[in-house]
Amino acid sequence: MSKLYTLSVTIITLNEADRIERCLESVKDLADEIIVLDSGSTDGTLDIVRSYTDKVFETDWPGYGPQKQRALAKSQYDWVLAIDADEALDEELQESVRQLLSEPRGNKVAIKMPWGVTVYNKRLDHGRSARSPLRMVWREGASFTDAQVHEKILHAPGETVTLKGRLLHFTSRNYGHALEKSTKYAWLGSQKYFAKGKRCHSLLSAVLRGFWTFLLIYFIRGGFLDGSVGFLVAVSYAQNNYNKYAGLWTLTRMEKLEKKSTLNQ
């Protein structure tokens, strides 16, 4: 199957020695170039990465969106696959990408990939996995938002398609790592919302948002079909959403008190 289009793969890393090789192995035969931006790894990540590509750049850490934009700016081929170090394409998804690169593009500009969240040695096929994140774009006209966390990739007008296969996401190394990530992302999310002008005036709102997240993941998206791990993940995401809005509530409260103090002076 001959290729009509070329592919750049971009990855950002920080201490991913235990996971990066799985990611690189899944894209090495598809990519015309692999671009890695590392922000200070000390665990041997760079040694592994350099055995796959010479396009390795050591940088500071400006946040997820800006870092991924830096990587995108260094890419030079037709399509760009922005994959995380804790992700990997399964064989079916690899074949789907290979086929995409070998047929006329038409009006396609954005590619979604069905997630396969994998935690505690179990791949989840429902719940949090019942979505297909955007991971691949036509390079011309593409960019990342400058969000510190939960960044989005923007693309030129055109068709978005979803490929077959699974983008395996090895989201956490263990339960402790999951708690650490959840806390970090929740607080970053609180600050992101606050900076954008969003406010939370009641802790009841935070509670209800957490409850809704559990209902969405466990029941509406079928997380109960993933067994006990599906339940644990649904609770974890509910807790994360509660923490994010509870954090926003604290920022809102502090802002109110500061304004009140200023008025009383």
Average pLDDT, consecutive stretches of 10 residues, N- to C-terminus, the chain (265 residues): 93 97 98 98 97 98 96 98 97 98 97 94 88 96 92 97 96 91 94 96 97 96 95 96 98 94 81
User: Which pLDDT belongs to residue 264?
Assistant: 80
Sheet holding 122-123: strands in order across?
87-89, 167-169, 115-119, 122-123
Give the whole-angstrom CA distance, residue 261 versus residue 1. Answer: 69
User: Which pLDDT belongs to residue 150?
Assistant: 85
Give the whole-angstrom CA distance, residue 82 versus residue 35. Answer: 10
User: Which pLDDT belongs to residue 129?
Assistant: 82
User: Which pLDDT belongs to residue 261?
Assistant: 86
User: Which pLDDT belongs to residue 262?
Assistant: 85
Q: Which residues of 36-72 are buried (b: 16+ CB within 10 A; e: fewer)?
A: bbbeebeeebbebbeebbebbeeeeeeebbbbbbbbb
Q: Can you give the pTM of this predicted structure?
A: 0.86
User: Which pLDDT belongs to residue 263?
Assistant: 83
User: Which pLDDT belongs to residue 90?
Assistant: 97
